[in-house]
Amino acid sequence: MSWRPSATLETLKARAELLASVRAFFSARGVMEVDTPILSRRATVDRHIDSFAVSPDDRWLHTSPEFAMKRLLAAGSGPIYQLCHVFRVDEAGRHHNPEFTMLEWYRPGWDHWQLMDEVEGLFSALVPQSKKIESLTYRQAFLRHARFDPFIEDRDAARHAFDAACITLPESLSEWDAWLDVAMSILVAPALQEPTFLYDFPASQAALARVRDDDPPVAERFELFWKGIELANGFHELTDAAEQRRRFEADQAWRREQGKVVPPYDAHLIDALASGMPQCAGVALGIDRLLMLKLGLPSVASAIAFDSDRA
């Protein structure tokens, strides 16, 4: 019966209604829907996300519409959003599929605080029975649920927390950020059952976000969790072309050292930043996960027409 959809027809109807509600939300706020290529000559060089290569053309399937959307912002598009399919290698499991639907939007002139308010507005519109979203700093969440301070590299304290949870880290896992990723996925995130924003991430996890010169410095980044699952990841966006190039090159060097594929970074994005992309905030939200959690489905596969095993 593998020809049949992985989602029920009732779920697919709910999915269509969800997508219509998203479009209505942004239409009412004057945010323009855009459509950018999924096939590119360049790819993400993110340390933790791998792109699908398309041969023989030396092109890549995008992992996010972010870079193309930022080029539109630099061209003067104003506020924009996009609903699109994105592709990531090794994204498989109950909460993952290699191909999934992402909602991404950008607000010129906004910071991440303003965008968090709009994320909450959208979430309330799509899940009207949900509770008000709680907000915690990354540090507060770790102190509450992992019982150690993520901004102080105290490996003994972290090991104690892992031992208490019967977690054994592989010897190869040496970087502190890798330890934090394990703690986030096993100790922190599962405790965030009610809708929760985490913000003020370590500067080492800034990705494409600005870094604020606090003590210690923090990335102006936030994530939304619900029922222990990450739903959205947002930034007060970095607009410094030289710093963005430095980060891309550092990520490429790391990937090279790890023996991973090293794609070309998006030079068009660097040029767009250099031309004067406006200050803005942006966020990406997983539509399949949101529908899965909203309907109480057992997996992401149950929220999409055909999962990777039936595609």
Domain boundaries in the chain?
Answer: 9-131+228-303
3-class DSSP state for residue 31? coil
Give the C-alpha separation, 13 to 100, whole Å.
17
CATH of domain 9-131+228-303: 3.30.930.10
pTM above 0.85, yes or no: yes
**pLDDT (tens digit per residue) in 35-50:** 999 999 999 999 989 9
Does residue 190 have a cis peptide bond before it, meaning omega lies within 30 degrees of 0? no
63: its two tokens: 């992992």
Q: How far apart are CA 129 and CA 151, in angstroms?
A: 35
The amino acid sitting at 205 is Q
Tens digit of pLDDT for each residue in 147-192?
999 999 999 999 999 999 999 988 888 899 999 999 999 999 999 9
Token pair listed for 53? 């290569």
What pLDDT does 79 receive? 98
- Dump pLDDT digits (tens) for 297-307: 999 999 999 99
**pLDDT band per the 50, 70, 90 thresholds, residue 1:** low
Q: For 244-273, how does the pLDDT look when each residue is reduced to its tens digit (9 = 90+)?
A: 999 999 999 999 999 999 999 999 999 999
| DSSP-based three-state secondary structure for 107 | strand
Distance CA 274, CA 249 (A): 17
Query: Which helix (H) or strand (E) is 269 found in, with range?
Result: helix 267-276
Q: What is the pLDDT of residue 69?
A: 98
**Phi, psi at residue 35, to the nearest 5°?**
-140, 115
How is residue 4 annotated by DSSP?
S
Q: What is the pLDDT of residue 306?
A: 96
